[in-house]
């Protein structure tokens, strides 16, 4: 469920954000299981790769809550992944805002399965 909030930097023309509930954003990271569909298919992402992708999805969901929450959530995920030897990299809130409102990119309907795991 979403609401509406004013964009902190875009007052004219007026732009709005659509924040999700915090519980929905943070629960997103639990959407992958060992038995996830397709895991037995050759070339399918590993559990770790799928987990990273889900965290990236969660970060995109966090955008609507504004820069303070977004930064805090990204920092939490980065700390989690760093403790597991993974460099979790994502756009800043300002970069996301620029991509959405200036470049009009649709950031949601894709799964890139990018590998960021050190070898």
For 66-111, write each residue's pLDDT tens digit. Answer: 999 999 999 999 999 999 999 999 999 999 998 888 887 776 654 4
Query: Domain containing 34: what range?
Result: 21-107
| Residue 54 within a domain | yes
Strands 5-6 and 16-17: antiparallel
Report d(CA 52, CA 115) in Å as an integer.
Answer: 8
What is the distance, to the nearest Å, from the Cα of residue 50 to the centroid of all Cα atoms in its chain? 13
State pTM to two decimals. 0.77
Q: Are 93 and 119 in contact (CB under 8 A)?
A: no
| Residue 1 within a domain | no
Token couple for 29: 């990271």
| Residue 117 within a domain | no
| Residue 44 within a domain | yes
Token couple for 115: 């590998």
- Dihedral sign from CA coordinates of 24, 25, 29, 31: positive
As for how many domains the chain has, the answer is: 1
Averaged pLDDT of the chain: 81
Instruction: List pLDDT tens digits, range 24-62.
Output: 999 989 887 766 655 566 666 778 888 888 899 999 999
Instruction: List pLDDT tens digits, range 53-62.
Output: 889 999 999 9
């Amino acid at each position: 469920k979403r609401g509406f909030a004013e964009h902190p930097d875009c007052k004219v023309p007026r732009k709005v954000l659509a924040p999700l509930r915090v519980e929905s954003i943070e629960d997103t990271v639990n959407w992958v299981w060992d038995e996830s569909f397709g895991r037995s298919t050759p070339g399918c992402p590993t559990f770790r790769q799928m987990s990273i992708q889900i965290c990236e999805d969660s970060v995109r969901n966090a955008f609507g809550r504004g820069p303070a929450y977004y930064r805090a959530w990204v920092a939490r995920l980065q700390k989690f992944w760093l403790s597991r030897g993974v460099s979790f990299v994502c756009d800043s809130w300002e970069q996301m805002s620029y991509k959405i409102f200036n470049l009009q990119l649709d950031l949601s309907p894709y799964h890139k399965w990018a590998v960021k795991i050190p070898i």
